[in-house]
Structure 1
Amino acid sequence: MRTKSTLALLSGVSLAAIGVFSPAFAQDEPETSEEIVVTATGRAAAIQDVPLGVTAVSGEQLTNAGVQELRDVTQLAPSFQLGTGQSIAASTARIRGIGTGGDNVGFESAVGIFIDGVYRARAGAALADLPDVERIEVLRGPQGTLFGRNTSAGAISVVSAGPDFEPGMYIEGMFGLDDLEEAGLRTGVNIAASDSLAFRLDGAIRARSGYITDLISGDDLNTRDRWTARGQMEWDISPDASLRVIIDAAESDEVCCGVTPFLYGSTQAAVTAIVGPAGTPAINPEGRFMTVTGALPGLPSLGPGLPAQPQTEARDFSDVTEDLGFSAQLDWDVGGMNLTSITAYRDWQQTRGQDIDFNLIDIAYRDGVEVGVENFTQEFRLQGEAGRLNWLAGLFYSDETVTNNDRIRIGAHANLFANALAQGGTAPLAAIGGPAGGCQLFDSGAPNAEPDSIPSFFYCVSDNPATPVVFDPNPALANFYLQGNVAGAGQQRDDWQADTQSWSIFTHNEVDLSDRLVLTLGGRYTSETKDVTADLLSVSPACDALRAIEIGTDPFFGGAADGVGFIEVLQSTASAGGLMNIACSPAVNPMANGHWEGSSEENEFSGTISLAYHLSDDVMLYGGYSRGYKAGGYNLDRQGMALRPDTTSAATLNIEQTHFDPEFTDAYEIGLKSTVLGGTTTLNLSAFYQQIHDYQLNAFNGFNFITRNVPEVISQGAELELSSSPMEGLTISGGVSYIDAFFDSEVRFNPLTAGLGASDPNAVFSGDPLALSPEWTATAAIAYEMPLGNDMRALFYLDGRWNSEYRTQTLGRDPLGRTDNQAYAVFNGRIGLGPEDERWSVEFWGRNLADEFYYVGAFQATLQNTYVIYPSEPQTYGVTLRARY
């Protein structure tokens, strides 16, 4: 059954949600309606008639909440979360607790992001500042029959403001009054060339100091420095056809993403021994500081096993992105059928550096990493009505090229760090007759006759291949040390490229079985081909020396007599992955050098079926099932191969070890949508159960980042949403979600720690909750627009988001749960003053009003057992001035 308002909407009337002080220039007011309109089903429809979970946020509310990019939408949509990890490219979007880690560009997102109908291939590629927005729609659950690109967890649809056939312009300046001194300028102009041709130009710049301080240089991290530009054309070709063309560009040159130390582990003693107390600042997470490796003079050789280290430059967290795009959307009424064609091209590039030991010590770093995502998409949709059938059919094609040119290099202190850990790990041997100062992996002292003044690690453990309990060394190994690495060794050229061609046909149909009962049927067939190539070159003398030992004839070094004893000794000597990983990390192991090629092909069906029953014009019940699909792919990282420090033959490696299988979702949902209290209030409820098969998880297992498909993951729960206008000028909205997202399978990522059983830090267990997924989330927003007389009015706005406690890590979690977030709430507010005609306004705003502190993420620093966190942004406040004509 269609309400009268819905029929009006389907005839072409479109209205965003209620709001105030829109930053857009003046336009003719649309027809009034109590319905919020979305295009979530491929055609304009009242949100209360759409039989699926949808959150719609208006442009006015986005402005009031200070939303500048998609990460900020988290504040307004309880089942949605978008966060950033080690870089902008590592951003991850989650809906109902389900998302795909963005720390490898080879992964597609489980949550699709569409801006004006154009698919953004990765979440990080959609984090430029938003243009003027009419609304943002958050679709919960698998989507495969409504948009060009299929997604397994949900979709975000951003609908921007287009050109208008009335001239106008706007300008707004934003000034932060806090320590970060944020400043920004946005401006735009609308040009009506004729009754059928209009243009719109928008541009913005924004800058801000960082909220994390490097204690060594005093420089800021997590800064903002970006600009965006957008040009649009709207051409009404005829009464039946229109064309909208958009060209946009954006660039950012920022410092991202810093951490702060949270829990020091045993390896911190080695850090302090090498760089002094400056490398171990007092723990104070809310102080938001860290230490970054500065420029180092050349370090002389300290012995036969330690080469001279060249002068090095300061490490950094530079993060530069460039984004360019073009799209053309043709809408054409062809004999009563609506044809939509969207042609788009996008090119997103990132260059970044990273001090990946996250400390003053120089163990390892990234040097000029280059990531690129280039894609061309073409979508056709044809929609029409035939009696009781409202049908839609579509065709989608995508040609995508992803590149990842990584440069993980070894730092100047790597050899010293390995020695410090080796000596610390073998010092207990002194109690049973061993050397008082422990033993070294690399020789740093002039050798004496027999044995060396500081014996080798191999000498100390030579007759004890399991654990160093009995000191009974082999004199022949007293002076046997590994050859050391030189700063700058490691990946010299790890170049990956993945080419994906995808096409699909889809259909989404609504059948009025009666005046009140509507059946929705949709289906999709997707064919996807991926071709991957890799040209890898890494240099590591320590890896070469270790491999030479492993292929020797001594049973201790690799013969059948000792099994994996040698590996276990090296693994256990340092608690952060073992000395093996420090001497020869899989990230730099030359065994993977060479040219690699691989390909895969998938052909899959997905779809949806649901029933919606209108109890009345104001109440609808619905229930349905959806099958979601997300393609498999390749982990574009040499660490994704079956590499370990003791790998002795390239014949054991192949490109298919980086491959991961597709992900599928079986989702069930029931819900109620109602309009109550005389049409002033909407109250919507939904309950869902989602079973994700072969969930794609990329995680660090103590040796390397590898990808595994977790056989089963469950996401289940319930959601409530409310929107109300109980009196003139007052708008209230909010939502509550209960989401129980957990692993329903056990998967161990590192065989060497599997013997630890339930305490294995490199495993996920059935029943473990997914990281970054609170069980309870509540959001609320209230806006009151009060007339002041003399044609003036005031705006009072407040919003908040509350999360229950949740984990911030998947693998390597602190066993005491200290890196978990406790429950917290974040509030934003705004007070505005301006005339009734909205020609200008002055607004004072604040974000994170209570200065709430929480962990955006947590992990163990590279090759260390020290926990670091990504801290939240502090309280900020400022003023915005707007004017428009």
Structure 2
Amino acid sequence: MRTANWNRCLGMLLAGSALGLAAPALAEEAAPAKSDGIAEIVVTAQRRAQNVQDVPIAIAAISGDALSETGIRDPRDLTLLVPSLSMQAGTAASTTSLFIRGVGIGDFNSNTTGAVGVYVDDVFLGANAGKLFNVFDSDGIEVLKGPQGTLYGRNTTAGAIRFSSRKPTDELSGDFSALYGRFNEVQLEGGIGGPIAKDLLKVRVSGFYNRRDGTTLNRVTGHKVNNINLWALRGIADFTPAPNVLLRLSVHGGNNTGGARQFQHRGQGVDFFGNPAKLPDGTPTDAFGYADTDNNAYAGDYNVEGKERIGVFGTSLLGQVDFSGVQLTSITAYEQVNRATLEDTDASPADFVVAYYQDRPRQWSQELRLQSTGERKLNWIVGGYYFHDTLATDSSFDLLRSLRDPNDLAGTFDPVNSLGLLRYPYTQRTRSFALFGQADYKLTDKLTFTAGLRWSNDRIGMDYHSLFDIVGGIAPVKAYSDQTLPLLDFKDTKTFKDLSWRAALNYKSGDTLVYASFSKGYNSGGFAGGASTDPLQLKPFNSEKLYAYEVGLKSEFLDRKVRFNTSAFYYDYRDLQVFVFDLTGPIPVQRKLNAGNAAIYGLEAELTVRPTRSLDLFGAATFMHSEYKKFAALGGVSYNGNRLVNAPKFAFSGGINWTVPLANGAAIKARVDGTYVSSIALFPDNAASTEVKGNGRINARLAWQAPSKIWEAALWVKNLNSARVISSIAPVITQDQINYNDPRTFGVQLVAHF
């Protein structure tokens, strides 16, 4: 069966090559061309500077200028440019789950280790909330598809996203952007840097500020909710005491004081006893008889207007020494996040479920690498990595307050019927270390063999408690009494070990590269981090493993006016980790467990055409089939044959860049880009009620560039077609909470570079 699927992938690859229909790594359109041909894109995916066309890995690379033009703010927005990358929004802006080629997990809890590794300047970020503050003053982004581990500190099964900030320059330089848009949005971004002491010290300081009024009307108060208010700062100093020595200190921080997500409400049409609950016209309601009937995704009735408070701080020190043909690199980093989110979980005017999430992750990492430099017959890299993370949480759910006795000022204490404040504080400690290495050996001038190996050891300890409190308020006020009922005390430690690898062959002739690879990725097991009252819910889940087979083609022709890349892949996905809701009781319970195995295979194609110096056409497409081969879910229900979560059958992104020179040296620049994603399932059961229909979005930008090329003024619009796209659905007792994308936004922008 696997051989048949692999042969099918090869056929799809050849078919894609013949069709030539899709698009680039979207970096191709991002970097300006210096001639009539498509500009060369330099990436460091393999820990050395290379033309992206020479790297035998499927990569999407996006320049800093393209990020500014498209309004990319954080990893979630990258899905608009990279069709094989998708996301599932969680309970808040800080708990988004990322997927590449259908590989990922939709668990929004704080202790989740995602299948997609996110790196900023080669520092792995473990906490979800910390990833909101790093896409500014950016030099570019690389999205690496498939298992990564033989070159990187942290191992991942789906792939990696690498953000690179702009570094200090030898001469004074700066980049600034000011944006104003719908909903009174203000976005300011800038960076300036240069030498302090010639040939010894240079620095760069950058910052980002974004505020926006709410996009959603709260009909209860008349206020606008789902607002944005955050800022971030970064400072980088390069110290070069000798020509072959670099010490780079980076310090960053940020703060978010915006609103928590306010969801849309959808009644499940049943009461607490399973009886039908509907309005006279047949509209399903929740158990309190409420239904949101206006079909407006940007209005709701909320008795609690949620808030989110996130503070981040991080620092890293890179040390790099070049010897004769060898480079030694050390990266020491510390990251911390303080997050507190108050959420109207039931998305209704009733006191049904109110959540308070609090977590404080602290991570420290050390990476050490030794590698060859220059182009030799044998290029190699070896390294070691240590990661330590302590996550302390104290989250809670205030359950069914509307059913309590209003004359009981302390609040009814009835854990049997879930009337009370359910707290679940826990501390999770993760200690991970690994040894990794990779070597490229030129068998001939055109044929290169690559081999990589990684050994990983992850030790995870969980100290978990859950209890009911008698409380008149909600957790943020800390109004706990001495009358508590301990429900669960759980403590366990588990060690996970694995050996993963990569083997590849690539043949480079002229402007054409053909490659084939076989790799294994690993994502360690662990413990569930949601609210639990039963020790079985905290039973550790196992590590997942991904065996990836891939063949690819990268090519340029017609004097570099056309670039066509394509790849076919087959994934043998074993013991994959899945996040589900146990709906067997009156209250949905979060569960994290292992499915048996699954298969994913597909074809990707990228095309960039530059018919003239002023015109670029680009696009990228992913065709994919995913299937659970063996998955017996809770209660013995079989999900065999179902599609994987967040794995569309087809996804496309593309657009056009057109520059019209004017007589005075100025220019008009126009860009239109869009994306389309076929339907996806949000849960393994593939229920129609939690399926996201196929959807597409269009963005546009029109700019006037000054004759000096130093600054430009632009008009922009995002989601021009006002698409309403569901990014998550979660069951909450007798209703569902639904998360939508932002509505259409538009405005003006000023950009300057010097």
Instruction: Give how far 1:660 is off.
Output: 1.1
Counterpart in the other structure of 1:101: 106
Output one character per residue of 1:766-817: Cα deviation in whole Å (capped at 9) or x when no partner.
1111232211001103211221121211110111101112223345x65xx2
Instruction: Give how far 1:624 is off.
Output: 1.1
The answer to whether the 8 A contact 2:548-2:569 is kept is yes
Q: How does 1:318-333 map to 2 (within 5 A)?
A: 318-333=307-322
Distance 2:184 2:32 in 1: 24
Report whether the alignment pairs 1:211 with 2:215.
yes
Rate the CA distance shift 1:98–1:392 in 2: closer, same or farther, 3 A.
same
Counterpart in the other structure of 1:668: 549
Counterpart in the other structure of 2:197: 194
Distance 1:600 1:484 in 2: 31
The answer to whether the 8 A contact 2:214-2:225 is kept is yes
Rate the CA distance shift 1:483–1:61 in 2: closer, same or farther, 3 A.
closer
Distance 1:484 1:52 in 2: 54
The answer to whether the 8 A contact 1:90-1:101 is kept is no
Distance 1:410 1:149 in 2: 38
Distance 2:144 2:286 in 1: 52
Higher helix share: 1
Q: Which amino acid aligns with 2:117?
A: G
Instruction: Give how far 1:825 is off.
Output: 1.1
Counterpart in the other structure of 2:3: none
Q: 1:383 is matched with which residue: 363, 366, 371?
A: 371
Q: 2:443 is matched with which residue: 513, 520, 537?
A: 513
The TM-score with structure 1 as length reference comes to 0.75
Report whether the alignment pairs 1:503 with 2:424.
no
The answer to whether the 8 A contact 2:177-2:751 is kept is yes
Distance 2:419 2:740 in 1: 30
Counterpart in the other structure of 2:524: 631
The answer to whether the 8 A contact 1:381-1:392 is kept is yes
Distance 1:589 1:776 in 2: 51
Instruction: Give how far 1:843 is off.
Output: 0.6
Q: Which runs of 5+ in 1 are unaligned?
A: 1-15, 23-28, 294-314, 418-481, 542-587, 644-652, 755-762
Structure (1 or 2) with the larger CA radius of gyration: 1
Rate the CA distance shift 1:589–1:514 in 2: closer, same or farther, 3 A.
farther
Counterpart in the other structure of 1:696: 577
Rate the CA distance shift 1:285–1:589 in 2: closer, same or farther, 3 A.
farther
Distance 1:852 1:271 in 2: 29
Distance 1:276 1:745 in 2: 34
Q: 2:422 is matched with which residue: 491, 495, 504?
A: 491
Instruction: Give how far 1:233 is off.
Output: 0.7
Q: 1:592 is matched with which residue: 487, 493, 496?
A: 487
Q: Which amino acid aligns with 2:742?
A: E
Structure 1 range deviating more: 184-193 or 146-155: 184-193
Distance 1:696 1:20 in 2: 38
Rate the CA distance shift 1:414–1:716 in 2: closer, same or farther, 3 A.
farther
Counterpart in the other structure of 2:300: 290
Report whether the alignment pairs 1:46 with 2:46.
no
Rate the CA distance shift 1:127–1:669 in 2: closer, same or farther, 3 A.
same
Instruction: Give how far 1:827 is off.
Output: 0.9
Rate the CA distance shift 1:590–1:628 in 2: closer, same or farther, 3 A.
farther
Q: How does 1:724-735 map to 2 (within 5 A)?
A: 724-735=609-620
SS at match of 1:660: coil
SS at match of 2:662: strand
Distance 1:121 1:706 in 2: 21
Rate the CA distance shift 1:360–1:159 in 2: closer, same or farther, 3 A.
same
Instruction: Give how far 1:540 is off.
Output: 7.9
The answer to whether the 8 A contact 2:270-2:287 is kept is no
Report whether the alignment pairs 1:182 with 2:220.
no
Output one character per residue of 1:746-779: Cα deviation in whole Å (capped at 9) or x when no partner.
3222x3xx5xxxxxxxx56111112322110011
Counterpart in the other structure of 2:467: 537
Distance 2:633 2:495 in 1: 27
The answer to whether the 8 A contact 2:366-2:386 is kept is yes
Instruction: Give how far 1:264 is off.
Output: 4.9
Distance 1:387 1:231 in 2: 36
Distance 1:122 1:99 in 2: 16
Q: How does 1:792-807 map to 2 (within 5 A)?
A: 792-807=666-681
Q: Which amino acid aligns with 1:699?
A: V
Output one character per residue of 1:48-77: Cα deviation in whole Å (capped at 9) or x when no partner.
111121111111222221112221111111
Distance 1:838 1:796 in 2: 15
Counterpart in the other structure of 2:599: 714
Output one character per residue of 1:343-379: Cα deviation in whole Å (capped at 9) or x when no partner.
1110012101122222212122224x21122111111
Rate the CA distance shift 1:484–1:662 in 2: closer, same or farther, 3 A.
closer
Distance 2:238 2:638 in 1: 52
Instruction: Give how far 1:745 is off.
Output: 1.6
Q: Which amino acid aligns with 1:250?
A: G
SS at match of 2:135: coil
Distance 1:244 1:809 in 2: 44
Q: How does 1:422-821 map to 2 (within 5 A)?
A: 489-492=420-423, 494-539=424-469, 592-594=487-489, 596-614=490-508, 616-639=509-532, 643=534, 653=535, 657-702=538-583, 703=585, 704-749=589-634, 751=635, 763=637, 765-811=639-685, 814=687, 817-821=688-692
Counterpart in the other structure of 2:20: none
Output one character per residue of 1:593-633: Cα deviation in whole Å (capped at 9) or x when no partner.
34x3211112210010011112x211121111111001111
Counterpart in the other structure of 1:869: 738
Rate the CA distance shift 1:170–1:513 in 2: closer, same or farther, 3 A.
closer
Distance 1:626 1:277 in 2: 50
Distance 2:324 2:494 in 1: 42
Output one character per residue of 1:719-751: Cα deviation in whole Å (capped at 9) or x when no partner.
0012232211222222110121222223222x3
Instruction: Give how far 1:276 is off.
Output: 12
Q: Which amino acid aligns with 1:525?
A: W
The answer to whether the 8 A contact 2:610-2:617 is kept is yes
Q: 1:358 is matched with which residue: 347, 369, 376?
A: 347
Counting matched residue pairs gives 700
SS at match of 1:747: coil
Distance 2:301 2:646 in 1: 26
Output one character per residue of 1:454-505: Cα deviation in whole Å (capped at 9) or x when no partner.
xxxxxxxxxxxxxxxxxxxxxxxxxxxx96889982225x321111111111
The answer to whether the 8 A contact 1:243-1:330 is kept is yes
Q: Which amino acid aligns with 1:827?
A: I
Counterpart in the other structure of 2:723: 852
Rate the CA distance shift 1:35–1:884 in 2: closer, same or farther, 3 A.
closer
Distance 1:280 1:238 in 2: 70
Output one character per residue of 1:371-397: Cα deviation in whole Å (capped at 9) or x when no partner.
122111111111116952111111111
Distance 1:226 1:243 in 2: 30
Distance 2:202 2:38 in 1: 26
Counterpart in the other structure of 2:176: 171
Report whether the alignment pairs 1:76 with 2:81.
yes
Distance 2:364 2:358 in 1: 20
Q: How does 1:10-49 map to 2 (within 5 A)?
A: 19=30, 34-49=39-54
Higher strand share: 2
Q: Which amino acid aligns with 1:601?
A: T
Distance 2:572 2:295 in 1: 37
Q: Which runs of 5+ in 2 are unaligned?
A: 1-26, 407-412, 472-482
The answer to whether the 8 A contact 2:265-2:346 is kept is no
SS at match of 1:786: strand
Q: Which amino acid aligns with 1:685?
A: T
SS at match of 1:142: coil
Q: Which amino acid aligns with 1:875?
A: R
Instruction: Give how far 1:129 is off.
Output: 5.2
Instruction: Give how far 1:81 is off.
Output: 1.6
Q: Which amino acid aligns with 2:466?
A: L
Instruction: Give how far 1:230 is off.
Output: 0.8
The answer to whether the 8 A contact 1:809-1:859 is kept is no
Instruction: Give how far 1:416 is off.
Output: 8.7
